[in-house]
Amino acid sequence: MVKLTFVAPDGSQTQIDAPEGTSVMKAAVANDVDGIVGECGGAMMCATCHCYVDEAWADRTGPREDGEDDMLEGAASEVTPLSRLSCQIKLTADLDGLVVHLPEEQL
């Protein structure tokens, strides 16, 4: 299992454990994390799973996948260099302890 922490805009944190190979988005939805909608189910067809990877983890999650920039253009909250679609981040042992910040709004 991989530990994952979601930080809400108000600073509150939700910590979960998720199986390796699961996307951050699917882990959030399966654990009812408020702030990740995942409207398209992870098909990279929306931006309702937009998150901000904590700066300390940005190098480990890798660059944006092809097409992520296009989808992020439709994000409801500000897009920054740390913005990612959480459906495109797959959990691995190297990401144990990953911290992601949730945007103010998704829709």
User: How confident is the model over 58-104, as pLDDT tens digits?
Assistant: 999 999 989 999 999 999 999 999 999 999 999 999 999 999 999 99
Contacts (Cβ under 8 Å, ≥6 apart) of 14? 5, 6, 8, 31, 33, 34
Rounded CA-CA distance 43/35 in Å is 18
What is the Cα–Cα distance from 86 to 37, expressed in whole angstroms?
Answer: 10
Please report which confidence band the pLDDT of residue 13 belongs to, taking 50, 70 and 90 as the band edges: very high
pLDDT for position 107: 77
Sole residue written with tokens 């988005």: 25
Nearest of 24, 23, 5 to residue 15 by alpha carbon: 5
Residue 27: predicted pLDDT: 98
Query: 14-60, pLDDT tens digit by residue?
Result: 999 999 999 999 999 999 999 999 999 999 999 999 999 999 999 99
Which residues, in sequence order, are CB contacts of 17 under 8 Å at separation 6+? Answer: 1, 2, 3, 4
d(CA 68, CA 83): 10
Domains and their CATH numbers in the chain:
2-101 (3.10.20.30)
What letter would DSSP give residue 64? Answer: P
